[in-house]
Amino acid sequence: MQLKGARIVLTGANGGLGRVLARELANAGAALLLTGRDPAALARIDLPAGCDYQLLQADLTHGGGIDSTVQAARSFGANILINNAGVANFGLLAEQDWNDVERILATNLGAPIRLTQALLPWLTQQPEAAVVNIGSTFGSVPFAGFTAYSAAKAGLRGFSQALRRELADSTVRVIHVAPRAIDTPINPPAVRALNRTLGSATDSPELVARHIVAMLANDVAEGHIGFPERFFAWLNGFAPGLVDQGLRGKLAKIKQHATKA
């Protein structure tokens, strides 16, 4: 897909990945409508000189935030929506506050579905358009300690696949990207400690952003970032019992760190 001259709505632009992804897209020649909850953080995004961009403060877990984003996107002439906004919460489900669970589901699954639905009538009128959903390896390999997050990201993957099939006769491409752990502030100290204990690899936001831009530019419909995570995603779809057994051996360490979260 042509990124030079594309007009992109990027949600969660003030986050660790969002800031870097905004720069990568700008370097590729795209104009950007950057949304986030924190206007001060949005204002600190460092973009290349001469970049065509606008900032929009919006909470996408509320109808008002969806409406303002759709209105701004139409005025901006957007032809690409990147659903990047997300939150995580590490801990055992039985010990989590329900408000935290609701926030995870609303931000990671409800908001992208609602925003996409509201913007589709506009996107389907564009000569070339795309919806990019930033998922997670945990959407394909659900992980203990991330129950609600895994559920939301699995739902986002299912949404992406179903929507891709629903829009197969339109000009709108649907892309789903599933990174593994990213070295950003979304990971609290307990998660970083768990990754070190388990030997789980993390990627820089710069590497992930480059992958996302490449997938969009090359019309790659779906992809996992990182190995062996890509293999385990395939294995979990083929033989989930084997993944159950493998993760059970790590459960004691996961619980140890989860109780400290």
- 126, exposed or middle or buried, with CB in 10 Å at 0-12, 13-18, 19+? middle
On average, the pLDDT of the chain sits at 90
What residue spans of the chain are helical by DSSP H?
16-27, 39-43, 63-76, 98-105, 111-123, 147-166, 189-198, 205-217, 229-238, 240-248, 251-258
Confidence of residue 194 (pLDDT cuts 50, 70, 90): confident
pLDDT digits (tens, 9 = 90+) for 119-157: 999 999 999 999 999 999 999 988 889 999 999 999 999
DSSP 60: T
Indicate whether 241 pLDDT > 90: no
| Cis amide leading into 228 (omega within 30) | yes
Amino acid at 167: L
Place of tokens 């800031």: 19
- 186 vs 193, residue with greater confidence: 193
Q: pLDDT band at residue 236, thresholds of 50, 70 and 90?
A: low
pLDDT attached to residue 234: 64
Provide the percentage of residues in the chain whose pLDDT is more than 70: 95
Question: Which domains, and CATH codes, for the chain?
Answer: 7-258 (3.40.50.720)
> Which H/E stretch holds residue 178?
strand 172-178
Token representation of residue 240: 């989930």
Task: At 214, list the tokens.
Answer: 């490449």
Check pLDDT > 70 for residue 15: yes
Residues in contact with 35: Cβ distance below 8 Å, sequence separation at least 6, in sequence order: 9, 10, 11, 12, 13, 42, 55, 56, 57, 58, 60, 69, 72, 85
Residue 38 CB neighbour total at 10 angstroms: 11
pLDDT surpassing 60 at residue 74: yes
CA distance 90 to 43: 29
Q: Specify whether 53 is catalytic.
A: no
Q: Give Cα 231 to chain centroid, integer Å.
A: 20
Of 238 and 151, more confident: 151
Asked if pLDDT for residue 244 goes beyond 70, the answer is: no
Q: Provide the 8-state DSSP code for 107.
A: I
With cut-offs at 50, 70 and 90, classify the pLDDT of residue 196.
confident
Alpha-carbon span 107 to 186, nearest angstrom: 13
Q: Which tokens is 221 given?
A: 């419909």
Q: Can you tell me the distance from the alpha carbon of 23 to that of 235, in angstroms, rounded to the nearest whole number?
A: 34
- pTM of the entire predicted model: 0.90
Choice among 90, 149, 159, 232 that is catalytic: 149
Question: Residue 163 pLDDT > 70, yes or no?
Answer: yes
- In this predicted structure, the answer to whether residue 191 has a pLDDT above a threshold of 70 is yes
Tens of pLDDT, residues 1-11: 899 999 999 99
* Alpha helix segments (H runs only) across 133-204: 147-166, 189-198
Task: Provide the pLDDT confidence category of residue 80 given band limits of 50, 70 and 90.
Answer: very high
Cα 210-113-217 angle, rounded to 5 deg: 25
Q: Which residue, 204, 207, 209, 212, is CA-closest to 184?
A: 204
